[in-house]
Chains A and B, each alone.
Chain A
């Protein structure tokens, strides 16, 4: 065995205590004589003892863990019962009492405040809606009395014919979420209508009267739709149903672009009331320039209208099988304003929307 390893051999025997008397005295002599050897020997002995002790420590910990697990199994209930011993009862009772009181009072407080909160919430929602759109949509809100259930609310808007056979246009926001839509024509008769197309972005909806024998007037629609954007300052007028009666208003184009610079809209200086959403905007020669959509917030006469271009886009996107032909002939050109209006009355209607 190499001398390097002999030192371990002796150290091991020394630690184990199995050196004989003579071996011990030999070792002692050598340790006294050679300090370097002595230092090395001490390190070796330390090492071996540490290894032994560390191993024992590890085993003890393993044993203790084992005992703990065993103790945990059959003593599992005993430590758990300690917190409920008699001197904890009073504290527990007080705590439970406070908890009970707190929950009851919270329950009462919540119940009491609930209604107030709800109404505040509603107001807030309306505010939000206003901010979101920043423009008042011209829907008239009529609550039906007696004849209809209270939960049913009726909105009214205005619509005008695209074809004499019953296709007409109004605002998307008028028909949005509707359970059913009816129109009331010039004569005061009701007809059911169905939505056949809509475009929320430009706020337009195309509907058809659900009656094959229905016709707006005796002849084809007398106006045409402008495929261009009319100039600033053009005189315009509109016909709508803010009430049961048809109402005439006139004004001018005050800006070429609409709300938030929407190029598909016009900004008008034109008085408009709730219920006139979807009303036609015409120029002096009887061309449809746009559809009244919304009212600005700043001042009274500020109104926005979707342009006829947006409507034409929507019509062109429909399948040809629908047989929706845009009127080509403008019969209003040479007529006076009063004559124009007389004809227009037949092709304009009130739109009534029922929803829950």
Chain B
């Protein structure tokens, strides 16, 4: 097949390169990783008492964990991307089943628990859980800010708008004024965020 032949010649198609591109948030790299490794996990989840929806949720979480880890420039995977994703996904799935077992009204059966837990990359998952909570606090603080600060910060950080665009959109006379306004908003956000976190 000429298509695979072509990709083989591409020098960037190594795992480390792929990971670096993925860390930058490039869609092509993300899609490639997804396509390569999702099917195996989907099959495994289906065999272990889950649905395709469960598989999609679990795999997404694993991808996010990999992404966060890859943000660190010194990060080097000690194994293949697929191996890492599969191990994390398995761990997440066992945790999910464990949570379900603790719910009232659950009737115990042997589905999925006979293999026992291999708690690989437990630290990575714990860090991830903490980080997600951190983001949640941040988003809550953002929502408490009130207008125009909330929209302004979202426009800058989440929608990648330039200070020029923002000054036009929010009616500031020049980008410097907008920037001052942005710093003002950041100061307020910092106060809310750290007071919430202190609690």
Interface residues of A (CB under 8 A from B): 1-2, 4-5, 8-9, 43-44, 47-48, 50-61, 63-65, 67-68, 71, 75, 78-79, 82-83
Contacts and interface: CB of A to CB of B under 8 A. Distances in A.
B100 interface: no
Contact of B34 (A52, A64, A83): A64
B186 A64 contact: no
Which of A9, A53, A59 counts the most chain B CB atoms within 10 A? Answer: A53
Interface residues of B, number: 39
7 contacts: A55-B157, A60-B25, A64-B63, A65-B60, A67-B30, A71-B34, A79-B43
Interface of B: 25, 27, 30-31, 34-35, 38-39, 42-43, 46, 52, 55-56, 60, 63-64, 67-68, 71, 131, 134-135, 138-139, 153, 157-158, 176, 180, 182-184, 186-187, 189-190, 193-194
Contact of B64 (A5, A44, A60, A67): A60
A154 B94 CA distance: 75
A68 B56 contact: yes
Given A9-B183, A57-B68, 17 more contacts: A5-B180, A8-B182, A43-B194, A44-B190, A47-B193, A50-B138, A52-B157, A53-B71, A54-B135, A57-B64, A60-B64, A61-B64, A67-B31, A78-B39, A79-B39, A79-B52, A82-B46
A51 B155 CA distance: 12
Contacts of B64: 57, 60-61, 64
A61 B196 CA distance: 25
Contacts of B157: 51-52, 54-55
Question: How would you classify the secondary structure of chain A's contact residues: helix, strand, loop or mixed?
Answer: helix
A54 B139 contact: yes
Contacts of A78: 39
Nearest to B45: A79
Given A54-B135, A54-B139, A82-B46, A63 B190 contact: no
A51 B180 contact: no
A211 B149 CA distance: 98
A51 B138 contact: yes
B46 to A, nearest CB: 6
B179 to A, nearest CB: 8
A231 B34 CA distance: 99
Contacts of B139: 54
A49 B150 CA distance: 17
A9 B186 CA distance: 11
A7 B9 CA distance: 48
A8 B31 CA distance: 36
B135 A57 contact: yes
A79 B158 contact: no
Given A8-B183, A50-B135, A61 B190 contact: no
B63 A1 contact: no
Contacts of A44: 186, 190
A287 B32 CA distance: 107
